[in-house]
Amino acid sequence: MAESLKPSALAKQIHSIEFGHKISDKTATGFGTWFTDYNTWDTYHLVPSSRPVVNPPDAKTNYVDMPGIDGPLDMSTALTGTMLYKNREGSWEFVVANDYQSWDAIYHNLKNQLHGKFFEVRLLDEPSYYYKGRLFVNEWKSEQNWSKVTLDYNLQPYKFELNSGNEPWLWDPFNFENGVIRSYGYDESPLYVFDTLELDIPASERIQSLIIHVVSGTGLTVRIGHGASTYPLNSGANDMTEYLIQRMAPTADITQAFLGSKLTNLIFYGSGSVYVEYQGGWL
């Protein structure tokens, strides 16, 4: 496993971008940890021309011109019951100091390490979330005292919360203005159910997989939201994603389900110990 490249204090000040990966394998050392492979400042000494942001995704609209009605018929959500989105596309322009390394060395490393590669991407201005997608090295422009290089990106439409509900929670990257705390236990430190346990699930724009892990106990059941049904839980992993979608977005396809601004909860009944695997996704 590659050693994480810890961003320097200067990298944080100049709004650098990290290209790395999230360790999600529960058997791996460092589970729930973000690993940085490359940092735009620490690795390449790139300074963004302006504060880097990721463009919002275009909505997948479908308008059909029908006779006998004013304007077109909006069929954008006819199949899924909710809006779908294209990938996020855009570019970041960086200034390169000519006294750090030769331009050909930096350009060579950028192309070999980033061009066409799939990464998980984290902006140090937005440390609580990360994006997934491909990067492309665009043109290089040279001047007398500095050069400029452009990195293009094609990222999935949703950004992901840095920590899943079943991972150790970290203070350092948390955003106290728009961050979401999901502390639903994990295998070494589960939640205990004594008769009942209610667990709030803050809203997420995109429904990810909801997996309930039963560590110990028998006869445990769970109610999703305030629905009429309770569902039995077996020892080990219980995939409750379909039931969550039926409760929160009953008209949506199971692969394209969204919560929007809704809030739900899980109510456990019985005696035992559990932890919940859930990671939010946002526009």
Asked which of 112, 138, 157 is the last residue of a domain, the reply is 157
- For residue 172 the two structure tokens come to 């350092």
Sign of the CA dihedral running 198, 204, 207, 212? negative
DSSP letter assigned to residue 245 = H
Looking at the structure, tell me whether residues 115 and 243 fall in a common domain. no
What is the domain count for the chain?
2
Looking at the structure, tell me whether residues 195 and 261 fall in a common domain. yes
CATH number at residue 110: 2.40.30
Residue 252 lies in a domain: yes
What is d(CA 188, CA 198) in angstroms, rounded to the nearest whole number?
20
Domain range for 13:
9-60+86-157
SS3 (DSSP) at 213: strand
Asked which of 107, 133, 157 is the last residue of a domain, the reply is 157
Residue 4 lies in a domain: no
Mean pLDDT across 252-259: 52
What is d(CA 211, CA 190) in angstroms, rounded to the nearest whole number?
14
For residue 219, name the pLDDT band (cuts at 50, 70, 90): very high
Higher pLDDT, 2 or 146: 146
Asked which of 109, 132, 157 is the last residue of a domain, the reply is 157
φ and ψ of 219, to 5 deg: 75, 15
φ and ψ of 78, to 5 deg: -65, -35
- For residue 259 the two structure tokens come to 């919560």
User: Are 233 and 213 a contacting pair, CB within 8 Å?
Assistant: no
What is d(CA 108, CA 222) in angstroms, rounded to the nearest whole number?
55
Q: What per-residue confidence (pLDDT) applies to 250?
A: 60
- The secondary structure of the chain in percent helix, strand, coil, rounded to multiples of 5, reads 10, 40, 50
Model confidence pLDDT, tens digit, residues 94-152 = 999 777 788 889 999 999 999 999 999 999 999 889 999 999 999 899 887 789 999 99
Looking at the structure, tell me whether residues 204 and 277 fall in a common domain. yes
Please report which helix (H) or strand (E) contains residue 34, including its range: strand 34-39
Model confidence pLDDT, tens digit, residues 3-24 = 578 899 999 899 999 999 987 6
Residue 74 lies in a domain: no
Residue 166 lies in a domain: no
Looking at the structure, tell me whether residues 97 and 217 fall in a common domain. no
Specify the pTM. Answer: 0.86
Residue 253 lies in a domain: yes
The answer to whether residue 257 scores a pLDDT higher than 80 is no
Looking at the structure, tell me whether residues 148 and 15 fall in a common domain. yes
What is d(CA 57, CA 59) in angstroms, rounded to the nearest whole number?
6
Looking at the structure, tell me whether residues 150 and 239 fall in a common domain. no
SS3 (DSSP) at 160: strand
Question: Which residues have a Cβ under 8 Å from the Cβ of 158 and sit 6 or more positions away?
Answer: 85, 205, 206, 281, 282, 283
Residue 118 lies in a domain: yes
Model confidence pLDDT, tens digit, residues 224-240 = 887 788 999 999 999 98
Q: Please compute, for residue 9, the number of CA atoms within 13 A of its CA located in the half-sphere on the CB side.
A: 0
Looking at the structure, tell me whether residues 28 and 149 fall in a common domain. yes
What is d(CA 17, CA 163) in angstroms, rounded to the nearest whole number?
18
- For residue 15 the two structure tokens come to 């709004």
Provide the mean pLDDT of the chain: 86
Mean pLDDT across 23-29: 64
Of the candidates 152, 157, 113, the one whose C-alpha atom is nearest the C-alpha of residue 131 is: 157
Residue in the structure block whose two tokens are 């496993």: 1
Residue 179 lies in a domain: no
The answer to whether residue 161 scores a pLDDT higher than 50 is yes
CATH number at residue 214: 2.60.120
For residue 52, name the pLDDT band (cuts at 50, 70, 90): very high
Looking at the structure, tell me whether residues 120 and 220 fall in a common domain. no
Looking at the structure, tell me whether residues 114 and 241 fall in a common domain. no
Residue 37 lies in a domain: yes
Looking at the structure, tell me whether residues 14 and 122 fall in a common domain. yes
Q: Rounded to 5 degrees, what angle do the CA atoms 254, 257, 261 make? A: 155
Looking at the structure, tell me whether residues 100 and 50 fall in a common domain. yes
What is d(CA 226, CA 265) in angstroms, rounded to the nearest whole number?
8
Q: Which amino acid is at 270?
A: G
Looking at the structure, tell me whether residues 200 and 249 fall in a common domain. yes
